[in-house]
Amino acid sequence: MTYINCRCIPEGGVPMSERPPVRNSGTVSKDDFGREVTVKGWVQDVRNLGGISFVILRDRFGIIQIAMPKKKTPPEVFDILTNLPRESVVAVEGTAKESTQAKMGYEVVPNAVEVLSRAASPLPLGVADKVGVEIETRYNNRYLDLRKPEIRAVFEIKSLALDLIDAFLKEKDFIEVFTPKIVASGAEGGATLFPVKYFDKEAYLAQSPQLYKQILMSTGLDQVYEIAPAFRAEPSDTIRHVSEFISFDGEMAFIESQRDVLDLIEGCMQAMIEGVIDRGQKSLELVGAQVNLPRVPYPVLTYSDAVGILASEGMEIQEGEDLGTEGEKLLGEVMSSRGNEMYWIIEYPEASKPFYIMEKDGTPFSHSFDLDYNGQEIASGGQREHRHGRLVERMRKKGLDPSSFEFYLNAFAYGMPPHGGWGLGLERLIQKMLGLANIREAILFPRDRNRLTP
């Protein structure tokens, strides 16, 4: 037999039909007032006011006030609840009552409690306390950090954004695919590859699904997308770089130009952001984010335009050089002053782009683009070189051995339509949309060159 506050419960528990209905802070309604309910959660605070005590119980959806008049509460229930350490997990049975003093408009007067897990004390990190905590302390104790509603709300928004992206692309007849994350070669070059032990072979964690999504363009699966982890061994300690991130990639066949790709991404971003504004208000309020729907159509700047704007602002960049973090930031300030949060930068020098990007014939530029959001690149892509011979030339021009990419090149030798696509860093998008100070705030358990646990 198991005893809960002198209530005898048979082994195996009480049949569900005999238990009070389980409610959470978001589902208790007026219909429950005067009736027995069960609520479960973490003990956020205990307040002992003499003749009456309160326990503030927290669950995913909010808080529940447990009110305990000393003369009307079973003594054993009163003693257990008033002596529990913060963050202990309990199940409380009691009567739901309307309350004008309680934040949720009701309270529960308990008649039984089960301590599901007693928390150790002291806590390594406060949950309800309004005290600043070092970021490393937060990440070392992420299980406690994520109990904070404002921290958890970021991931509720992230989940909603993914649902909205899925819905938009499915409506456009895109197929969701999943490509290998253990690969024999990298799409972006060897310097940022993570080597892994793969039996007796050399292998790497995938930087991108680039080569595989292009192969799929030859199969009849002519519009595909993938939202999955990607890995970059970049030794960068910045607010925008991590070693593992979620990459939102897509590829489209039979395009007329890269403009088709730009239009698709622009529509997707607008639908996603509008949906977050419409359906994520509670979470946005918790985060303290004011999200605006970008003005459409997104302005289109050429790389040369961008260099010229920066020069007019006193930042000299030689034609062909990367705009850099500071250049992107300054350009974002200029574009913001013109009322544009999102904007395209197209026609980058072909020398700065990977082998699979199509050159703009007769120029030093390429059919490529970046999508910038408030001064930070969140996506890049372009039209791909689909002609087998020209693709081999591009590889050699980049110092690559085509024989090392035979699995990829074969798909181009037997009928490959014109195609283009993109790769978008989901956490960068969430960071800029919510105004987060660091990209790690958009990742449950971030990975960088210093952090491998938890």
Catalytic residue among 58, 240, 384, 394: 240
Catalytic residue among 25, 380, 386, 427: 380
Catalytic residue among 377, 385, 427, 441: 377
316 is catalytic: no
152 is catalytic: no
Catalytic residue among 36, 188, 234, 274: 234
367 is catalytic: no
Catalytic residue among 147, 394, 428, 440: 428
Catalytic residue among 232, 384, 394, 419: 232
58 is catalytic: no
Catalytic residue among 58, 241, 384, 394: 241
234 is catalytic: yes
240 is catalytic: yes
241 is catalytic: yes
3-state secondary structure the chain: CEEECCEEECCCCCCHHHCCCEECCCCCCHHHECCEEEEEEEEEEEEECCCEEEEEEEECCEEEEEEEECCCCCHHHHHHHHCCCCCCEEEEEEEEEECCCCCCCEEEEEEEEEEEECCCCCCCCCCCCCCCCCHHHHHHCHHHHCCCHHHHHHHHHHHHHHHHHHHHHHHCCCEECCCCCEECCCCCCCCCCEEEEECCEEEEECCCCHHHHHHHCCCCCCEEEEEEEEECCCCCCCCCCCCEEEEEEEEEECCCCHHHHHHHHHHHHHHHHHHHHHHCHHHHHHHCCCCCCCCCCCCEEEHHHHHHHHHHCCCCCCCCCCCHHHHHHHHHHHHHHCCCCEEEEECCEHHHCCCCECECCCCCEECEEEEEECCCEEEEEEEECCCHHHHHHHHHHCCCCHHHHHHHHHHHHCCCCCEEEEEEEHHHHHHHHHCCCCHHHHCCCCCECCECCC
Task: State the catalytic residues.
Answer: 232, 234, 240-241, 377, 380, 428
